């Protein structure tokens, strides 16, 4: 935890001394997947800006009990939204007071998050910062489902993509996705399951590939369903239910039944809707 401290001691005169912002990936849900370095910073934080998709147990277990915890969650499909400009303003506001501010994001803060906006704000305001990686949502989901993302004779690589806005995806891209031997990982695409599958079938996807739909990965409410393109019925694909939902498409999906180790419960409800970052919007 000496990185920010050492940087301040060696700072040039043009850099403001005082507060700092630590951008932390909290992992996909299981609080035990938090990194040691992240836990150390949480224990010293004065202010914590927490995303909606962060386990509430992380705050209970690791955060400074005197820290100010501010929910800044987003879920546009339900009208839950804290504007990015508001988050940026909070980061600057507290850092300029000399506070140690933790910006706690779900998964890894560098993958499908607005970290660039926040980094630009911190740099423009000459605020010290550090980025602490977290267990990515896709690696956590794959591990807890027993799906190797790469494996000999199955997949040599992975691609992390999104089909959130399908109208912006070219036919050439769909063709490339259908033909690649890489494992495809779709973020923010739970509502597009049928459209994605249909497009890949239209572009002659390899029938040896499968689709895994993983909801609320690594939490007690994890739910996994797998389908083969060989006998896929689009009408039988599940409806989007809970955030986060991750899609894995590739040949390694067929390994799930053999290597699944995490016991999934029959009971199924939202895990993250009970967090402080979600409850603030319910009142």
Question: Contacts for 97-101 with beta carbons within 8 Å, 24 or more apart?
Answer: 97/18, 97/19, 98/18, 98/19, 99/19, 99/46, 99/47, 100/19, 100/20, 100/22, 100/41, 100/44, 100/45, 100/46, 100/47, 101/19, 101/20, 101/21, 101/22, 101/45, 101/46, 101/47, 101/48, 101/49
| Cβ atoms < 10 Å from Cβ of 268 | 14
74 is catalytic: yes
| Paired tokens of 208 | 């040896």
Which of 51, 99, 105, 108 is catalytic? The answer is 51
Which of 37, 74, 225, 251 is catalytic? The answer is 74
The SS3 assignment for 174 reads: helix
Q: Which residues contact 214 (CB under 8 A, 6 or more apart)?
A: 141, 145, 222, 223, 224, 245, 246, 247, 248
| Cβ atoms < 10 Å from Cβ of 42 | 23
Q: Helices in the chain by DSSP H: which ranges?
A: 3-9, 36-44, 56-62, 84-95, 115-124, 137-145, 171-179, 193-202, 256-259, 276-279
CB 277 within 8 A of CB 252: no
51 is catalytic: yes
Rg value, the chain, Cα = 20
CB 122 within 8 A of CB 96: no
Residues with catalytic function? 51, 74
């Amino acid at each position: 935890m000496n990185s920010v401290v050492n940087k301040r001691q060696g700072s040039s005169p043009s850099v403001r001394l005082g507060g700092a912002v630590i951008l932390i990936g909290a992992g996909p849900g299981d609080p035990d997947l938090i990194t040691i370095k992240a836990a150390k910073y949480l224990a010293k934080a004065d202010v914590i800006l927490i995303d909606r998709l962060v386990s509430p147990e992380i705050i209970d277990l690791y955060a400074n009990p005197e820290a100010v915890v501010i929910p800044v969650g987003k879920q546009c499909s339900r009208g839950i939204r804290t504007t990015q400009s508001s988050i940026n303003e909070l980061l600057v506001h507290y850092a300029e007071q000399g506070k140690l501010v933790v910006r706690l994001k779900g998964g890894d803060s560098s993958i499908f998050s607005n970290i660039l906006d926040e980094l630009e704000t911190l740099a423009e305001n000459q605020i010290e910062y550090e980025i602490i990686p977290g267990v990515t949502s896709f690696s956590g989901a794959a591990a807890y489902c027993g799906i190797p993302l790469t494996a000999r004779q199955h997949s040599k690589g992975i691609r992390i993509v999104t089909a959130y806005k399908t109208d912006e995806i070219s036919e050439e891209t769909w063709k490339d996705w259908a033909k690649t031997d890489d494992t495809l990982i779709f973020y923010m695409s739970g509502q597009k399951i049928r459209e994605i599958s249909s497009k890949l079938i239209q572009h002659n996807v390899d029938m040896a590939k499968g689709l895994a739909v993983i909801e609320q990965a690594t939490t007690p409410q994890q739910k996994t369903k797998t389908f083969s393109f060989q006998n896929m019925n689009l009408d039988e694909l599940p409806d989007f239910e809970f955030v986060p939902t991750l899609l894995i498409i590739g040949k390694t999906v067929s390994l799930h039944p053999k290597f699944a180790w995490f016991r999934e419960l029959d009971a199924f409800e939202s895990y993250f809707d009970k967090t402080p970052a979600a409850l603030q919007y319910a009142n």
